[in-house]
A and B are shown apart, each in its own frame.
Chain A
């Protein structure tokens, strides 16, 4: 049982709780923009992709970093993954709201990758991540790639929604 619970309830646990609360509050205070199912899809992609990546990078044989206090899987790794969901939602929310097109798409991805890397640097400071061979600059490249894929998925999801939407369904122009 002591492997599941945090070794000490300190900075990393508080950082996760406060960050999760902040992003969830921000995301829920924003006016509703997407149909309910689309919101669920974007949130699911957020934690699905993070789990996929983390499973590849964190455990041996790669073992690039540990999450939280130990090499074990702690209870606080569950909110850690859910943190990515509202983050991903906010990313597509503003992309859709500001109708970003052309060269601005690149700028938008660069800015959000910087936000993501900055947030991860904070997480490292609060010992959420304990890097072994991983470096923050790898995260930067990772965010660039994932957010670009995420925008591609955004277009596919939007096209699919409008193709299969019911007449009385919520509009998503």
Chain B
């Protein structure tokens, strides 16, 4: 069930992503994807593998579902969030966008937990999820601002 659902979401999201007009340059997308994996890898490495706060399923189909979430769904979703932020002018609108994105990302995690793709330990609280996703999105926003500056020197953004 989990593998079918998350692979379907991944493919639909990827189709939507690559067939609609993008506000972000391909290079921004590639760099953001790689940096997100970097952040996530370290997060799962320390919080999950070392401190057992998050446990990813060891059943192969569920593990593949998690790989789809981590490699496709989360990064594409974050890139779409950054696109939305770029198109917004007012600070409050950007902040509202951040709040919505944090909740949607937490919703994906919650769905994954319900389908036994991952499990949080009893020590984990919702506050940590808010904190970690907010921090991740702000970090990605910062990286995006930096990439945009470098990109703008040579390429039309």
Contacts and interface: CB of A to CB of B under 8 A. Distances in A.
A40 B150 contact: yes
Contacts, number: 101
B26 interface: yes
A157 B155 CA distance: 12
A4 B48 CA distance: 12
Nearest to A35: B154
Interface centre among A35, A45, A48, by most chain B C-beta atoms within 10 angstroms, is: A48
A160 interface: yes
Query: What does DSSP make chain B's interface, helix, strand, loop or mixed?
Result: helix
Nearest to A49: B34
A81 B45 contact: no
**Chain B interface size range:** 20 to 34
**Chain A interface size range:** 35 or more
B67 A36 contact: no
Interface stretch (A20-28, A55-63, A97-105): A55-63
B156 A166 contact: yes
A48 B37 contact: yes
Interface stretch (B11-19, B54-62, B78-86): B54-62
Contacts of B35: 44
A77 interface: yes
Contact of A44 (B31, B44, B70): B31
Contacts of A3: 50-51
A170 interface: yes
B124 interface: no
Contact of A52 (B37, B44, B49, B151): B37
A160 B26 contact: yes
A55 B30 contact: no
Interface string B91-134: 00000000000000000000000000000000000000000000
B41 interface: yes
A64 interface: no
B50 A72 contact: yes
Given A37-B154, A37-B155, A166-B154, A60 B26 contact: no
A40 B152 CA distance: 13
A78 B42 CA distance: 8
**Leading 7 A-B pairs by shortest Cβ distance:** A73-B45, A48-B34, A169-B154, A44-B34, A73-B49, A3-B50, A35-B154
